[in-house]
Amino acid sequence: MTSIDVQDLTKEYGATRAVDRLTFSVAPGRVTGFLGPNGAGKSTTMRLVLGLDRPTSGTATLGGRPYTTFDEPLRHVGSLLDAQAAHGSRTARDHLRALAASNRIPEHRVDEVLEEAGLASVARRRVKTYSLGMRQRLGIAAALLGDPPVVLLDEPSNGLDPEGIIWIRELMRRLAREGRTVLVSSHLMNETASFADHLIVLGRGRLLADTPMREFIHARVQPRVRVRTTEGELLDGLLKLHGFEAVAGDDGRWTVYDARVEDIGRLTSDAGLPILELAAEEGTLEQAYLDLTASEAEFTASASASASATPAPSQEA
Ligand SMILES: Nc1ncnc2c1ncn2[C@@H]1O[C@H](COP(=O)(O)OP(=O)(O)OP(=O)(O)O)[C@@H](O)[C@H]1O
């Protein structure tokens, strides 16, 4: 079991403090989403963990060891930071073979990961003929090559088609189920919500949150309930009596604020009100994230600064 441990990590580029006294651990067995506005320090942190940059102070270790102490690092950590990294004049297969040879990884892994990434049929084509999505798949294949216990992916769904996005989501979930440590940065909140169990959120190089995803959302977005009944006035009176705030919509549906379906369902049932519809409106990760980071974004457009925490309709109860 190999965790990623970042301890009091700081990185300055001239006058810019990209990472500011950051401390967190990424645990095995779950997918950790790594979030934050543009310029928050996510890529810099990943680069420091991967020994691609030297910290100004503090440490970043994998299973207690700095990345630079591994002789065959691909067996310990797989990463996708820059999908353009492969040499364009090589074939995908040769690119992976070279990586495998330099890390004493058995050659059969090359064909396995090409197959896994959906590149088997184009493996003998030069990388420069690849689309962005194909390069992304190749980068992910390279990350998996050494069967590593730790995987770091920076924006892995970049350029992937819908089938590829489902593939990467399921791959990350499987890697976590196998007990690996999976850290994934993304700006796509719906995507992140679909694969992450845990979140680490940065803002201006500092840690803003390190929490399970469900807790992150529930702490920031009030749940609402949508109700439809033939007896609107009775419903309104009943809810007021029990201290709930409710507003009637034009479509005959009532929205009850800061409420859960269990509570409203029980109340209306006890009162014998005929209910035509009862649905939870759970908060989304996007709402919770915008609520947290609105004041933190370095490059916030004025429109997005007014991020309101309005839940979106979700599944019927
Ligand atoms: N090599 C560098 N030289 C100077 N400044 C840098 C360098 N790399 C990063 N920075 C600065 O450090 C800060 C953090 O950048 P970083 O790329 O880590 O953020 P990020 O969270 O990955 O952003 P994005 O979501 O846009 O990819 C930014 O202000 C950036 O301009």
Closest to 53 in 3D by CA, of 12, 15, 86, 102: 12
Q: Who's near 198: CB < 8 A, 6+ residues apart?
A: 27, 30, 31, 32, 33, 210, 211, 212, 213
Same domain, 128 and 165: yes
CA of 116 to the centre of ligand 1 (A): 32
Ligand 1 pocket: which of 35, 43, 192, 207 to mutate (most atoms <8 Å of CB)?
43
22's enclosing H/E stretch is strand 16-26
Q: Identify whether the C-beta of residue 114 lies closer than 8 Å to the C-beta of residue 108.
A: no
What is the pLDDT, as a whole number, of residue 175?
97
Same domain, 271 and 148: no
For the CA of 43, the closest atom of ligand 1 is: 22
Same domain, 188 and 227: no
Ligand 1 pocket: which of 10, 13, 19, 155 to mutate (most atoms <8 Å of CB)?
13
In angstroms, rounded to a whole number, what is the distance separating the alpha carbons of residues 278 and 261? 7
Task: Report angle CA 185, 96, 3 to the nearest 5 degrees.
Answer: 40
Q: What is the mean pLDDT of each run of 10 residues along the chain (317 residues)?
A: 94 96 97 95 96 96 95 94 76 94 95 95 92 92 96 93 94 97 94 95 95 92 92 93 92 91 94 94 89 66 43 43
ipTM over 0.90: yes
Same domain, 124 and 98: yes
What is the pLDDT, as a whole number, of residue 1?
74
What is the pLDDT, as a whole number, of residue 296?
63
Residue 154 structure tokens: 């920076």
257's enclosing H/E stretch is strand 253-257
Give the domain range for residue 135: 4-212
CA of 154 to the centre of ligand 1 (A): 13
Same domain, 35 and 177: yes
pTM of the model: 0.85
Report the CATH number at residue 187: 3.40.50.300
What is the pLDDT, as a whole number, of residue 304?
40
CA-to-CA dists, residue 112 to 145, 173, 236, 277, angstroms: 8, 19, 61, 50
Q: Identify whether the C-beta of residue 74 lies closer than 8 Å to the C-beta of residue 105.
A: yes
- Looking at every residue in the chain, the average pLDDT score rounds to 90
